[in-house]
């Protein structure tokens, strides 16, 4: 008998020793917000439970005063009121009253949902009931309820820990998502900045391209202008500005080439020296402007008579020269007669003046005695003076024996 009692007392003593630690921790643990929201218990009842567990209710009289205005609406509130009444009796060493109130709570506990039974403060009455039975000397019941309390406490502690871990995990995931969102936002900003940089670079490249294009256009315009100037200079270098015909230098340059080709190909070649009759009188009578206009009209009519391969040039003052490739003396005479007739056919209307104009023409062709340009032009010039001696509007061919053929 004594041996069985000692075996029973040993675990009871251990639980009694450990109980205050768990008791302190249990009361220190806050009621999880999820459980409070699920409890069908009023704030007045929960407030009373907190006051009793904090030992702010001194005795049964104080408890009855505070509980007088509280009406239990369900089994959960009745259990907590019985628990508070039993705990107040326990704190005042009224073990019988404590056991009686706590057993009433125990009888109602089975009516609550299991989740509610395992939550604080509903299982706290096991600890109070254990202390009450120990106070009555019933160590077996004290051990039984202490063990039940510790199991419930451990279960709730584990459940609370799991809830806290879940909350921490959720917070961690939220934090991770926030960090990911921040990272994505930063990446988006970087991409936007990169796009803006690329767009800016593109705009700069476009500006550079436009500037380069403008420079190229200006450069091309300058080249085109230079080409025009060069063309103009070349034209001026070989053109008489008054008549638009070839000038002296260009005439002799082309004439030398034509003479060489005529010798090489054994072809005929002739030259005409044309002198506008009475040009000095026209200048004196009508003015130099009218005289220049007469020269321009003679040049225009001469171009109509000349062939496309002929070289027609204004030599100086009233003199013109024409070099006729592949034309013998007979062909040259025909061209000269046509020219003289076209000039004298009708008066020239120049600057509102009707002026009769004639030309004297000398003809010379390449022969064994006349083989170069200078000799050819001199012979044609001599023939022109022979024509002038015969009167205005005459055509004469060069004759080495100084005979004049008036046509």
The pair of three-digit structure tokens given for residue 266, joined into one six-digit string: 């054994």
Which residues on adjacent β-strands are paired with residue 76? Answer: none
The CA distance from 404 to 407, in Å, is: 9
The CA distance from 252 to 382, in Å, is: 18
Spell out the alpha helix ranges (H) of 29-117: 33-38, 43-53, 60-67, 75-91, 95-109, 114-117
What lies within 8 Å, CB to CB, of 9 at 6+ separation is 139
CB 258 within 8 A of CB 327: no
The CA distance from 211 to 128, in Å, is: 95
CB 362 within 8 A of CB 384: yes
The CA distance from 182 to 178, in Å, is: 6
The CA distance from 90 to 114, in Å, is: 26
With CA atoms as reference, report the closest residue to 378 among 304, 321, 299. Answer: 321
CB 99 within 8 A of CB 136: yes
With CA atoms as reference, report the closest residue to 156 among 129, 124, 130, 125. Answer: 124
- Looking at residue 359, its pLDDT comes to 95
With CA atoms as reference, report the closest residue to 98 among 143, 132, 65, 50. Answer: 132
With CA atoms as reference, report the closest residue to 117 among 62, 147, 81, 79. Answer: 79
- Looking at residue 216, its pLDDT comes to 87
Q: Is 113 left (phi over 0), alpha (psi -120 to 50) or beta?
A: beta
- Looking at residue 238, its pLDDT comes to 78
- Looking at residue 21, its pLDDT comes to 46
- Looking at residue 370, its pLDDT comes to 92
- 157 phi/psi in degrees, rounded to 5: -60, -45
Residue 82 Cα to chain centre, angstroms = 79
With CA atoms as reference, report the closest residue to 372 among 201, 257, 216. Answer: 257
- Looking at residue 401, its pLDDT comes to 67
- Supply the DSSP string of 314-364, one letter for each residue: EEETTEEEEEEET--HHHHHHHHHHHHHHHHSS-EEETTEEE---EEEEEE
CB 255 within 8 A of CB 323: yes
Provide the 3-class DSSP secondary structure of residue 137.
coil
CB 334 within 8 A of CB 318: no
Provide the 3-class DSSP secondary structure of residue 271.
strand
- Looking at residue 380, its pLDDT comes to 95
The CA distance from 76 to 82, in Å, is: 10
- Looking at residue 274, its pLDDT comes to 96
Percent helix, strand, coil in the chain (nearest 5)? 70, 10, 20
Peptide bond into 121 cis (omega under 30): yes
The CA distance from 16 to 142, in Å, is: 9
pTM given for the model: 0.49
CB 363 within 8 A of CB 398: yes
Provide the 3-class DSSP secondary structure of residue 160.
helix
- Looking at residue 306, its pLDDT comes to 95
- What's the length of the chain? 407
Query: Strand 348-350 and strand 319-325: pairing?
Result: unpaired
Torsion sign across C-alpha atoms 88, 91, 92, 94: positive
CB 322 within 8 A of CB 395: no
The pair of three-digit structure tokens given for residue 124, joined into one six-digit string: 């706290």
Q: What is the pLDDT along the chain (407 residues), one digit of tens a residue?
A: 444 444 445 444 544 444 454 444 444 444 444 444 455 788 888 888 888 888 898 888 888 888 888 888 888 888 888 889 888 889 899 999 988 988 888 888 878 887 777 777 777 778 888 998 998 999 998 898 889 888 878 877 787 888 888 888 888 889 888 889 988 998 989 999 999 999 888 898 988 899 988 898 998 888 888 887 777 777 677 799 999 999 999 999 999 999 999 999 999 999 999 999 999 999 999 999 999 999 999 999 999 999 999 999 998 889 999 999 999 999 999 999 999 999 999 898 888 889 999 999 999 999 989 999 999 999 999 999 999 999 899 999 998 765 444 44
Q: 């034309």: which residue's tokens?
A: 327
């Amino acid at each position: 008998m004594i041996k069985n009692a000692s075996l029973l007392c040993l675990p009871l003593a251990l639980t009694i020793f450990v109980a205050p630690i768990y008791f302190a921790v249990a009361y220190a643990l806050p009621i999880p917000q999820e459980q409070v929201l699920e409890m069908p218990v009023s704030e007045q009842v929960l407030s009373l439970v907190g006051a009793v567990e904090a030992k702010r209710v001194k005795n049964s009289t104080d408890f009855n005063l505070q509980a007088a205005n509280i009406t239990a609406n369900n089994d959960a509130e009745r259990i907590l009121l019985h628990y508070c009444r039993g705990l107040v009796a326990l704190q005042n060493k009224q073990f019988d009253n404590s056991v009686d109130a706590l057993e009433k709570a125990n009888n109602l506990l089975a009516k609550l949902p299991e989740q509610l039974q395992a939550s604080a403060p509903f299982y706290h009455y096991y600890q109070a009931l254990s202390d009450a039975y120990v106070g009555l000397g019933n160590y077996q019941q004290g051990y039984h309820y202490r063990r039940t309390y510790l199991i419930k406490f451990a279960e709730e502690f584990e459940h609370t820990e799991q809830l806290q871990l879940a909350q921490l995990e959720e917070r961690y995931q939220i934090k991770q998502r926030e960090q990911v969102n921040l990272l994505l936002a930063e990446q988006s900003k970087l991409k936007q900045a990169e796009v803006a940089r690329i767009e800016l670079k593109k705009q700069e490249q476009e500006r550079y391209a436009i500037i380069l294009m403008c420079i190229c256009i200006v450069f091309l315009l300058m080249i085109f202008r230079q080409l025009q100037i060069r063309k103009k200079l070349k034209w001026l270098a070989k053109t008489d500005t008054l008549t638009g015909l070839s000038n002296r230098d260009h005439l002799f340059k082309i004439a030398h080439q034509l003479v060489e080709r005529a010798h090489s190909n054994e072809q005929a070649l002739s030259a005409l020296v044309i002198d506008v009759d009475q040009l000095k009188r026209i200048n004196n009578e009508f003015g130099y402007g009218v005289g220049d206009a007469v020269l321009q009209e003679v040049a225009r009519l001469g171009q109509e008579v000349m062939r496309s391969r002929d070289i027609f040039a204004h030599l100086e003052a009233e003199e013109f020269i024409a070099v006729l490739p592949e034309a013998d003396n007979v062909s040259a005479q025909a061209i000269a007669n046509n020219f003289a007739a076209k000039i004298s056919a009708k008066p020239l209307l120049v600057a509102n003046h009707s002026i009769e104009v004639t030309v004297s023409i000398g003809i010379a062709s390449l022969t064994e005695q006349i083989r170069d340009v200078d000799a050819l032009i001199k012979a044609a010039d001599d023939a022109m003076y022979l024509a002038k001696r015969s009167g205005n509007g005459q055509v004469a061919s060069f004759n080495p024996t100084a005979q004049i053929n008036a046509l």
